[in-house]
Amino acid sequence: MLRLQQKLVQKQILAPRQILLAKLLQLNIVNLEQKILNELETNPVLEEIQREDDALISTNDSDRDTMDVSFEADEPEPRSLFQYSPDNIELPQKYQADFIEELVGQLDIYGLSEFEHTIAEEILWNLDERGYFTVELSLIADRLNTDEENVEKILKFIQHLEPLGIASRDLKECLSIQLEDKVDSLAYRIVSDYLDDFSNKRYELLQKKLGCTEDELAEAKEIIIHLNPRPGEGKINTKDEIVIPDLIVRERDGEWSIQNYDSGLPELRVSPDYIGLLEESAQISTDARKYLKEQTDSANWFIEAIKQRRNTMIRVMKAIIEKQPQYFSGNTKDLNPMKLQDIADEVEMDISTISRSTRGKYVDTSFGIFELKSFFTESAKKQSGEVISTNLIKQVLKDIIVNENKKKPYNDERLANKLNAAGYNVARRTVAKYREQLNFPVARLRRELK
């Protein structure tokens, strides 16, 4: 027999506007621009304000340029208070010369046939960011309807272009090509036959295998470490190499100015034509009126969500600056312990909102561009009871490793002992974790001959 029951259940359901804001907060400035362009394509009610309108607004409000926006995050549109032109920002940019086209240009002086030139270009346009050729020769051969031997012949030719070793298939091949004029040297023998032992710094074992002295090995090592293991690094750009900041922070007359770096994004509005059409409801069908109402609401929510995103980003940045005053005074090694929850409490937002606002977002400061999440650090206690940032312990650890005797580097246990002697209670496993985070290898791999 069925029985009726009554239950009281508490549930939290996100409204569509909250879901939209959460999604926009997750996006960095590049992805936000793509999202706006997609929305312009899919929502006919939404339109971009033409730049002529922007110029008129800027002219009418030109006196706002002198206003201070220090921490004014409660304004609905913080960016409108301070007209910040990207032309005035000195952002660090990578060298943009087309390295691959320069290599293709080198081919012209060698009298290659048209087909050989085609093979060479196919190889060059398949180099990775290190300058290595990682595509199977068979794929190039099948694509151009030729033999692998023909492709490999052109590949070896390319490997001797400038820089030497470009288009190598692995590290051994890259270094060997650069040592071809020293084929009788100890350095060439090491690269050809004992590269693994050399890479892992098994120097005593190498001396036994090669029958050489420590001085001879040190001389060969000096030659090898001056070779270029990545001929294309820094020259072949990838999409992930250029960072565009979401925020700009500048100190003006002792106050901090925070600005969203989104002046290049399209300015949006709901089309006046569709608003007028919706108001003249008698002239359109019920279905058309319903569709226009849905699209208008969606457009208004989207515009409002972008404004809220700007406001949220500035409020979060303001709280971070207030929590890290030494850092933003220029002492970038001095971070106070700070968690996401600390900022969430400060701005009275959910911790998930703070996480979305800081993950993958960058700020341009007077002393560099930093990811927002880099300002957060855990706390630790010194033996004196003082609460410090784990970032400080990592800095001390880094200084110890940098200044250690490279012939007898410290293992993790000795590093932990040194930190404890300096007043930091750190276990060996914690030292290993911090060392890996600082990108230092184990003691054996840090060892040097001289």
Show the low-confidence residues of the chain (pLDDT under 70).
1-2, 7-16, 51-98, 234-242, 281-282, 332-334, 450
- Stated pTM of the model: 0.54
CATH number 1.10.10.10 given to 378-446: no
| Residue whose token pair is 């650890």 | 397
| Residue whose token pair is 């201070």 | 68
Using alpha carbons only, what angle is made at residue 347 by residues 342 and 353, rounded to the nearest 5 degrees?
80
| Residue whose token pair is 């992930």 | 240
**One fold for 99-225 and 378-446:** yes
Domain ranges of the chain: 17-58+69-81+243-374, 99-225, 378-446
Which CATH class, in words, describes the domain spanning 99-225?
A: mainly alpha
* CA pair distance 247, 256, nearest whole angstrom: 12
Backbone Cα Rg of the chain? 30
pLDDT confidence of residue 153: 93
pLDDT confidence of residue 51: 59
